[in-house]
Structure 1
Amino acid sequence: MRLFSPLYDRVMAWSRHRHAQWYLGGLSFAESSFFPIPPDVMLAPMSMARPASAWRFALITTLASVAGGLLGYVIGAFAFELIEPLVGQGGRYHEAFEQGRAWFDQWGVWAVFLAGFSPIPYKIFTITAGVLSMALLPFLLASAVGRGARFFLVAALMAWGGEPMERRLRQYVDTLGWLMLLLIALVVMLY
């Protein structure tokens, strides 16, 4: 059943849209402070569709993500009461928030760098940094280096693959999609 290839085609068309970089910047900003979808889902196809612009896309993603991280920091520092029901005892993100706090206790500013580079929800660390009143300059530097390393790596890999990778991926996208769903189902059942 070809469920994923029409979606793939749509995403690739969106990635070529003339306003795509503005949407990428908005998504990157939002994801760093409150939105759950990572910007990689736009950055990767945009870099693959337009390899010559990949570095610009990575820079936009990095700058917008760091600016969004600053908003997360401000939320943690000045408006924590508004989100406390989500991260407090019994809240939806309580475990992630407590894990972030433990990482800050153990690694300090390196926790921001690791969260910026890894698939860990970065917004948890931006808000936690604000709650803990982390020094702003080290926070911003760690964010810029961690997020930049991640996004430039994604852009470079996708640009390197370019159109040949796009065609090849299109060929197998349905098989890969179903395998991923199966893997997720197995993990959920085992967990």
Structure 2
Amino acid sequence: MKLFAPLYDRAIGWARHKHAVRYLAVLSFFEAIIFPVMPEVMLAPMCVGQPRRAFRFAALSLAFSLLGSLVGYALGHYAFEAVKPLFAAMGMLPAIESGIRTVQAEMAKSPWAVFTFLVLGGFMPIPMKVFTWASGIVGVPMLQYILAMAVGRGKRVFLLAFLIRAGGERAEAALRRYIEPVGWIATGLVVIGIGVLAWRAHGG
């Protein structure tokens, strides 16, 4: 079953629209919160079409990703509180809170260790929202959070812009070819991450 390729094709269509710059900004913003498609799928063809503006497009995507990451952080922080009664009714709240305390304890040992983790996470093919919501839930310090989001996402979009300028249409074609396996691998990593968190929450 193909899931990510159709979403990719839709984003490619947006990239060719006369309002592509606006769409890139909106996609970058909402991908950090909820949307499943990474903005790179729009950024790549836009850079192919206008290579001289590649780094300008990358900067725009980064700026709106950072704005979205602030919203995602806030939602992670406050949405969890809102659904606590549901988790309590299901008998899951003690285990979930235990897991969160474990993450917080690790973070307290070295906030810059969390920074390193988020920077590395920003280079993985995992939706940015996973890190923004999780950071809000555990309360990652804002300085480390913003710096990590800027470095993690920044190196992705600027590296892509550089590769497109250097490789042209061949680089964009490679992205299109492998979008489906990359999407499913990313989904698998998310599921594994959730499983690890649940295992730790239950004292594994």
Q: TM-score category by the smaller chain? A: 0.5 to 0.7
SS state at 2:18 partner: coil
Shift of 1:80: 1.9
| Cα deviations by residue, 1:91-118 (Å, 9 ceiling, x for unpaired) | xxxxxxx7xx869937412222112222
| Matching residue of 1:80 | 80
Between the aligned partners of 1:46 and 1:104, the Cα distance in structure 2 is 43
2:133 corresponds to which letter in structure 1?
Answer: I
Gap change, CA 1:9 and 1:136, over 3 Å in 2: closer
Indicate conservation of the 8 Å contact 2:39/2:61, yes or no. yes
| Matching residue of 1:117 | 123
Indicate conservation of the 8 Å contact 1:118/1:150, yes or no. no
Between the aligned partners of 1:21 and 1:83, the Cα distance in structure 2 is 36
Gap change, CA 1:25 and 1:128, over 3 Å in 2: same
Point out where structure 2 has 5 or more consecutive residues left out of the alignment: 1-6, 91-98, 108-112, 189-204
Between the aligned partners of 1:144 and 1:125, the Cα distance in structure 2 is 13
| Matching residue of 2:46 | 46
Shift of 1:13: 6.0
Indicate conservation of the 8 Å contact 1:25/1:64, yes or no. yes
Per the normalisation by structure 2, the TM-score is 0.64
Gap change, CA 1:28 and 1:131, over 3 Å in 2: same
| Matching residue of 1:4 | none
Q: How many residues align?
A: 163
1:159 corresponds to which letter in structure 2?
Answer: R
SS state at 1:117 partner: coil
| Matching residue of 1:105 | 106
Between the aligned partners of 1:35 and 1:10, the Cα distance in structure 2 is 13
Output the aligned Cα RMSD.
Answer: 3.8
| Matching residue of 1:95 | none
- Calculate percent identity across the aligned residue pairs: 41
| Matching residue of 1:141 | 147
